[in-house]
Structure 1
Amino acid sequence: MGYTGPQNANPPSGEAAIWEYGYVPSLALGIVGVITYLVVMCPHLLLLFRKRGTRSVHGLLFFAGLIEALGFGARLYSHTHEFSGMGFLLGVTLVQIGTILITAAMYKSIQRGIKYMPESRRLSPMRPRSLITLFVILDVVWVLLQIGGQYEVAAAQSAKVTGDDPTLALGTSQLVFLAGNVLQAITIIIVSIFIYVILKRSSRVLAGADPSVEFPLLRPLLFQILGTFALFFVRLAMRIAEGAQGAYGYSSTHEVFFGVFEYAPLVFILILWAVRPLWKFLFPLGHEHPTSSSSRNGDVEGHPRTEVSSGSQDAEVKAAK
């Protein structure tokens, strides 16, 4: 259908010839977005300082909420500066960068969950640290494609109004945006398959494990991560539909779709991990040191190397007597 909104045929420096979002961002949604992200990041800030062993995950989620709040602040700026190119670029960039931190937190949660399991290295189809590195790099690349494609679509549409030559043709820019979302969706599917493999292998491992030893609640943790990816996939599916519909189609020019399918899933993810934080799965009885081979080897995040806990030493002394 193409862009049909107001035009700024002779835009001054720093302004675009069109509303680059395809609409004027809502004041109400902008305020709600800033406030809710600032609120939901607060529990993750507390967990960052209070819960040792899970700081990296909640640190990523805290900064994700902070960056998303800044992204909605940029959308608020665009509400009063409808043709601002910088406001649009900051808005789409910050909102997308926040999603990288959320997926990185999920990859890290997988690594932390299997770390304290028996035969932990055999649970994952690939080394956990390699999994984090590979998929974070892929997410960064795919998100850059999405940001670049979305910005170039707006630039190409503006060039139609001003008569300038765009860097990329409108159709090419749209394909770049679509490719970034499709490839990220494929990455999420691959990681979800890895999680399914870990679930199957963990069932066999736990069946033969010592019942007196406390292990992480790995299966509930992995199911929560799968639920997080499902919410994230809903967001990607909507963006794929927008890209397939064409530049400035119905869904991409009506902010209600952004609010329902992009804002709401990410906020719910941050709320979910604040209500059911990672430490509840890793240390179900509130112990700081899980009794697994990983903790005895000094691998617990945020803890110094230790051989056995003082409680275990006392028990051994009493048993010897």
Structure 2
Amino acid sequence: MSDREPPAFGYIDPNFPNPNGPDDATIVIYGYTPSIAVGILGCVLFFLAGTLHTYQLFKYKTWYFSTVIVGIAFEIVGYVFRSLSSKVDPYRVTFFVVQYFFIVVAPVFFAAAIYTILSILINSTGRHYSPIPPKVILWVFILADVISTAVQIVGAALIGVAESNRKDPTTPNNILLAGLAFQAFSFLVFIFLFIWFGIKARQVMFKVTKKSFYVAFCIAVVLVYLRVCFRLAETAEGLYGNLNTHEVFFGCLEFAPVVVAVWLLGVWHPGRCIHRDLPSADWDTGYNY
């Protein structure tokens, strides 16, 4: 048997020689060398959004919305390590896994904020407009996101291990796919629930919130779901698929939707746009935000 290593299958940057360090894979796991422009832009835009959200968090004392700050911090860490992959070592497995972990987990915190907003809207307009109590909505969907994200992280970590050991990453990719499929399903159920509520409460909705906020919130929900669908399609194609090997898809379907969603929720902040002191609001819920 030959002692030579098998040829690497995947992307190898012709302009960036592999350092072949102990933590380096034989290929660039991303499928391309990440753009430094995307990395820096991500850090800057999320930092500015975080500043805006933090200011409004304390101004309106909307502590229930603090998960957005956590999500933004995760995004910044993710794009810092993505920048390190771009300029320091695109082959390093640690950089890939860390950026993947933080960028994948961050939207879970944004989703939690979205679930909370729906709970508040239900409490503001009346529980009879929703088939499920707001507290149940909050915890069921947060739990679903936590489970799906944990599975995704395991899959991503195992992909990194498989690539660094030059093994077939199909099984880890299937684990990652399962987590994404579950997340896409649970978020779709949430969207149907939100549509149900929106139809039932349409007569009183704009008494408790600005119409522009409701539109911005709907767009943010769609953008977050678009990002989930992209990740699902990307993983279904496999590690060397078209979506996974062209950064333009990452930029347009992961980076941009999340950035826009975060800024929408910052410009139309619920602390400023949702009126929670109306006499008609049903606040006898036994749940404190």
Per the normalisation by structure 2, the TM-score is 0.85
**1:291 lines up with 2:279 in the alignment:** yes
Deviation for aligned residue 1:273:
1.0
Of 104, 117, 130, the residue aligned with 1:109 is 117
The Cα offsets for residues 172-226 of structure 1, whole Å up to 9 and x where unpaired, read as: 222122222222111111001111221232246x49xxxxxx9412876555433
Matched, 1:71 2:100: no
CA contact (8 A) 1:65 1:98 kept: yes
Checking the alignment, whether the CA contact within 8 Å between 1:192 and 1:226 is kept in structure 2 is no
CA distance in 1, matches of 2:281, 2:105: 36
Aligned-partner Cα distance in 2 for 1:56–1:228: 18
Give RMSD over aligned pairs. 2.8
> 124, 132, 141: which is aligned to 2:130?
124
Q: How many residues align?
A: 278
Matches within 5 A, 1:32-47: 32-47=41-56
Alignment correspondent of 2:144: 138
Q: In structure 2, how many angstroms separate the alpha carbons of the residues matched to 1:192 and 1:297?
A: 23
Question: Within 1, Cα distance between the matches of 2:259 and 2:288?
Answer: 29
- 1:215–1:292 Cα contact (<8 Å) kept: no
Q: Which residue of 2 aligns with 1:195?
A: 194
Partners in 2 of 1:175 and 1:297 — Cα distance?
41
Contact 1:68 1:94 in 2 (8 A): yes
Q: Which residue of 2 aligns with 1:98?
A: 106
Match of 1:56 in 2: 64
- Is residue 110–residue 222 contact of structure 1 (8 Å, CA) maintained in 2? no
Change (3 A) 1:220 1:191: farther
Match of residue 152, structure 1, among 139, 158, 161 = 158
How far 1:130 moved relative to its partner?
A: 1.3
Task: Indicate yes or no: 2:90 matched with 1:82.
Answer: yes
Structure 1: distance between partners of 2:116 and 2:188 = 17
Report what 2:182 is aligned to.
183
Worse-superposed segment, 36-45 or 171-180: 171-180
Shift of 1:114: 1.7
Query: 2: CA distance between counterparts of 1:157 and 1:297?
Result: 51
CA 152–6 in structure 1, closer or farther in 2 if over 3 Å, else same: farther
Identical pairs, percent: 24
Contact preservation (8 Å) 1:124, 1:198 = yes
TM-superposed CA distance for 1:255, in Å, is: 1.4
1:21 is aligned to 2:30: yes
Q: Tell me the residue number matched to 1:254.
A: 246
- Secondary structure, in 3 states, of the residue corresponding to 1:116? helix
Deviation at 1:240, TM superposition (A): 2.1
Post-superposition CA distance 1:87-137 (Å, at most 9, x none): 1111001111211100000000011112122xx222222121111111111
Please name the residue that 1:242 is paired with: 234
How far does the alpha carbon of each residue in 1:7-59 deviate from its partner, in whole angstroms, 9 at most, with x for none? 9999443333322222222111111110111011111101110013x3312x2
3-state secondary structure, aligned to 1:249: coil
Distance 1:126 1:30, change over 3 A: same
Q: How far is the alpha carbon of 1:245 from its aligned partner? A: 1.8
Q: Which runs of 5+ in 1 are unaligned?
A: 161-165, 208-213, 302-321
Question: 2:131, 2:216 → 1: CA distance?
Answer: 19
